[in-house]
């Protein structure tokens, strides 16, 4: 802060000088100033200058310091870590891990505080354990007592002379973070169970619907043997080895996750996940909600034997039976409630559902029609048909001009063309009497048009209505959004670890970060703040800890107020006037 003299002119042309106390701050990458208070007219204050100086200096033996006498030493982002610490404690993670871990004999740091650093880094500035040191230089990251973690960098000479010149961080520090991962991994099963009990009590979870889905994440490098394998890649990285991540969510909260080998089939994971819910979490009966990749006759039969319920989507093209269900949808449609924000549109897309006769006793089948899905799938079909038609026309011209005469080569070229853009769903061809011709497929195209906008849901729950079934199934979108956040915001991918335990611990850290993100989103929503969790964390960067030296050599520390958006986020987290951390450091981690 510093004084500023401003001039104003009244209606009579008289000019007056006022002294104001001004504070500098930074918002959205720009330097700005704001007036803290107005001290009054300069000519009136000059009369009392000696007395003002005496009043300001006498209580704590301080003197008036000019702005040029203040020398800033260092500044760190403080708001993001402050928010993460608050969320961490509110979820009870600090207490849970304290019961499991204890403190290091060397520096007295609790395991909970070490794990928090890894989780906060994944949420604030995702990086590897190597990159974490750079984050410690820019953000004020501390334990519960306010002691700041300090990065340990290798000297340039030491780095060049070593066998790993690309590693810039002290090996001792890296090994400490790796040991933290190992300790966290050893406590995974117990931590998830205790965290589930905490969430159940805090948020009154409705443990009747369990959402489960899988995704994949890939490795850079070979990855650990036995778990890093090639399989169906959701990341469109078929050449990279991968692992599968199964996420279990209850009432919008992630309660457990499972890591599987990269070549594991989705459907083979269901039985183990259901057993874990019963044995570890003590959940007697649930309605299992899964996508079409989970559906096999064995899984359905297993769920029946366990007296569990299910709501699952069926793969449209896996059997003739699904097409028959779509064809039976000739009765009365029920309109589902419009999605949030859709009411404002003049012609909002609708979702309709009707129950159709099933081929199995006790099994209920629902055909759902989505206007939004129909528009997307129809546009995709027309685009694919256009591309395939143009390719077939080119092939037809080659045959007409005699450039291609061998029937086997013509057939091979037509097969390749229909394989692209799923052309076999739209067109059929024939080569007769030296003439190549193609036409719309009389069966497949009709079926494609019937499928557009439709999906089929199966359940055996007798008390669920058609609209309830659709709403329950749509909750799987929460899991899909969780996967997007894990991959894109929290940057779960790629994985560089080369041991299975470290891979699983890396994923565990990411899921804990996602849990904190979910809590932050709910608090922002409850406070009526229209910000994503990422935007909120970005706004909190304007709250900084600043160390500075006065002209008399005295060292001070202060916390900036930050932007208005940051203040709103902190109020939503119920953080008011946080304590300024002491000047203590943890140099060896």
Q: How confident is the model at residue 589 (pLDDT cuts 50, 70, 90)?
A: very low
Higher pLDDT, 487 or 93: 93
pLDDT surpasses 90 at 552: no
Query: Where is average pLDDT lowest: 110-114, 170-174, 261-265?
Result: 170-174
pLDDT surpasses 50 at 62: no
pLDDT surpasses 70 at 436: yes
Tokens of 201: 């009590």
Last residue of a domain, one of 273, 297, 315: 315
Radius of gyration of the chain (CA): 32
Residues 304 and 413 in one domain: no
pLDDT of amino acid 27: 75
pLDDT surpasses 70 at 514: yes
pLDDT of amino acid 2: 67
What's the CA gap between 78 and 81, in Å, rounded?
A: 6
Beta bridge partners of 2: 22
Q: How confident is the model at residue 486 (pLDDT cuts 50, 70, 90)?
A: confident
CATH (domain of 289): 3.90.350.10
Residues 458 and 324 in one domain: yes
Each residue's pLDDT tens digit, 199-223: 999 999 888 889 999 999 999 889 9
pLDDT surpasses 60 at 67: no
Residues 301 and 324 in one domain: no
Residues 366 and 377 in one domain: yes
Residues 55 and 103 in one domain: no
Q: How confident is the model at residue 416 (pLDDT cuts 50, 70, 90)?
A: very high
What burial letters (b/e) apply to 281-316, b meaning 16+ CB within 10 Å? Answer: bebeebbbbbbbbbbeeebbeebeebebbbbbbbeb
- DSSP codes of every residue in 220-257: SSS--TTTSB----TTS-TTS-EEEEEEEEETTEEEEE
Beta-sheet strands, E only, within 404-559: 427-432, 435-440, 454-459, 544-549, 555-559
Residues 434 and 367 in one domain: yes
Half-sphere exposure of 404 (CA within 13 A, CB side): 18
pLDDT surpasses 90 at 339: no
Burial of 156 (0-12, 13-18, 19+ CB in 10 A): exposed
The secondary structure element, H or E, covering residue 75 is: strand 71-77
What proportion of the chain, given as a percentage, has pLDDT over 70? 91
Residues 85 and 147 in one domain: yes
Last residue of a domain, one of 263, 298, 315: 315
With beta carbons less than 8 A apart as the criterion, state whether 120 and 112 touch: no
In a domain, 492, yes or no: no
Domain count, the chain: 4
Residues 336 and 446 in one domain: yes
Q: Which residue has the tokens 């006790």?
A: 362
Q: Which long-range contacts (CB under 8 A, 24 or more apart) does 529-533 make?
A: 529/568, 529/569, 529/572, 531/565, 531/569, 533/489
pLDDT of amino acid 517: 95
Tokens of 357: 């006769």
Residues 327 and 449 in one domain: yes
pLDDT of amino acid 344: 61
The candidate with the shortest Cα–Cα distance to 366, out of 454, 300, 487, is: 454
What's the CA gap between 444 and 544, in Å, rounded?
A: 63
In a domain, 32, yes or no: yes
Each residue's pLDDT tens digit, 366-386: 999 999 999 999 999 999 999
Residues 178 and 275 in one domain: no
Half-sphere exposure of 106 (CA within 13 A, CB side): 6
In a domain, 81, yes or no: yes
In a domain, 494, yes or no: no
Mean pLDDT of 295-324: 87
Mean pLDDT of 56-72: 55
What's the CA gap between 481 and 370, in Å, rounded?
A: 20
Residues 50 and 170 in one domain: no
In a domain, 503, yes or no: no
Residues 56 and 106 in one domain: no
In a domain, 473, yes or no: no
Average pLDDT score, the chain: 87
Q: How confident is the model at residue 548 (pLDDT cuts 50, 70, 90)?
A: confident
pLDDT of amino acid 1: 63
Each residue's pLDDT tens digit, 148-193: 999 999 889 888 888 888 888 898 899 999 999 999 999 999 999 9
pLDDT of amino acid 343: 59
In a domain, 479, yes or no: no
pLDDT surpasses 80 at 22: no
pLDDT of amino acid 575: 92
With beta carbons less than 8 A apart as the criterion, state whether 72 and 533 touch: no
In a domain, 477, yes or no: no
pLDDT of amino acid 241: 95
pLDDT surpasses 70 at 40: no
pTM metric for this prediction? 0.79
Mean pLDDT of 341-367: 87
pLDDT of amino acid 61: 44
What is the layout of strands, in order, in the sheet containing 544-549? 71-77, 544-549, 555-559
- DSSP codes of every residue in 309-354: EEEEEE-TTS-HHHHHHHHT--S--EEPPPPTTGGGSSS---EEEE
Q: Which domain holds residue 110?
A: 77-186+525-586
Query: Where is average pLDDT lowest: 9-13, 61-65, 481-485?
Result: 61-65
What's the CA gap between 556 and 66, in Å, rounded?
A: 15
Each residue's pLDDT tens digit, 449-469: 999 999 999 999 999 999 999
Burial of 545 (0-12, 13-18, 19+ CB in 10 A): buried
Last residue of a domain, one of 294, 315, 336: 315
Beta strands 209-218; 287-290: pairing state: parallel
């Amino acid at each position: 802060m510093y004084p500023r003299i401003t001039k104003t002119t009244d209606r009579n042309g008289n000019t007056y000088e006022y002294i104001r106390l001004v504070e500098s701050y930074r918002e959205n990458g720009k330097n700005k100033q704001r007036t803290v208070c107005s001290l009054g007219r300069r000519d009136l204050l000059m009369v009392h200058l000696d007395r003002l100086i005496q009043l300001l200096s006498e209580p704590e033996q301080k003197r008036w310091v000019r702005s040029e006498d203040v020398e800033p030493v260092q500044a760190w982002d403080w708001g993001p870590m402050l928010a993460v610490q608050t969320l961490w404690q509110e979820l009870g993670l600090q207490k849970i891990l304290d019961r499991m871990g204890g403190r290091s004999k060397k520096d007295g740091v609790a395991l909970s505080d070490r794990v928090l650093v890894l989780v906060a880094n994944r949420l604030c500035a995702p990086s590897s354990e190597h990159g974490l040191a750079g984050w410690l230089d820019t953000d004020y990251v501390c334990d519960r007592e306010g002691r700041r973690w300090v990065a340990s960098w290798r000297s340039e000479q030491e780095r060049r002379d070593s066998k790993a010149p690309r590693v810039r961080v002290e090996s001792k520090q890296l090994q400490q973070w790796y040991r933290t991962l190992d300790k966290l991994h050893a406590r995974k099963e117990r931590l998830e169970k205790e965290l589930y009990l905490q969430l159940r009590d805090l948020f009154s979870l409705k443990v009747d619907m369990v959402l489960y889905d899988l995704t994949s994440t890939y490795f850079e490098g070979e990855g650990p043997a036995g778990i890093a394998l090639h399989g169906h890649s959701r990341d469109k990285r078929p050449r990279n080895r991968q692992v599968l991540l199964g996420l279990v969510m209850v009432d919008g909260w992630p309660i457990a996750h499972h890591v599987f080998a990269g070549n594991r089939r989705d459907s083979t994971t269901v039985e183990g996940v259901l057993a874990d819910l019963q044995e570890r979490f003590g959940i007697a009966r649930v309605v299992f909600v899964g996508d079409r990749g989970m559906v096999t006759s064995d899984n359905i039969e297993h769920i029946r034997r366990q007296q569990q319920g299910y709501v699952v989507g069926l793969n449209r093209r896996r059997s003739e039976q699904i097409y028959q269900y779509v064809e039976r949808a000739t009765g009365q449609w029920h309109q589902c409630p419009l999605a949030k924000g859709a009411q404002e549109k003049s012609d909002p897309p609708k979702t309709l559902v009707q129950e159709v006769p099933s081929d199995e006793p006790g099994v209920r089948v629902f055909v759902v029609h989505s206007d939004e899905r129909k528009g997307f799938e129809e546009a995709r079909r027309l685009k694919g048909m256009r591309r395939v038609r143009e390719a077939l026309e080119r092939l037809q011209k080659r045959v007409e001009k005699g450039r291609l005469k061998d029937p086997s080569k013509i057939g091979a070229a037509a097969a390749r063309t229909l394989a692209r853009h799923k052309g076999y769903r739209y067109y059929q061809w024939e080569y007769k009497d030296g003439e190549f011709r193609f036409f719309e497929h009389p069966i497949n195209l009709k079926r494609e048009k019937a499928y557009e906008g439709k999906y089929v849901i199966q359940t055996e729950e007798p008390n669920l209505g058609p609209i309830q079934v659709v709403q329950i199934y749509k909750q799987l979108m929460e899991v899909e959004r969780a996967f997007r956040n894990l991959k894109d915001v929290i940057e779960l991918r790629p994985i560089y670890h080369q041991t299975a335990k470290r891979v699983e611990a890396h994923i565990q850290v990411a899921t804990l970060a996602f849990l904190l993100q979910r809590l932050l989103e709910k608090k922002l929503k409850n406070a009526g703040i229209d910000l994503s969790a990422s935007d909120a964390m970005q706004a909190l960067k304007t709250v900084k800890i600043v160390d500075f030296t006065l002209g008399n050599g005295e060292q001070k520390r202060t916390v900036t107020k930050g932007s208005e958006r940051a203040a709103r986020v902190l109020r939503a987290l119920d953080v008011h006037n946080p304590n300024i951390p002491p000047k203590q450091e943890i140099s060896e981690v």
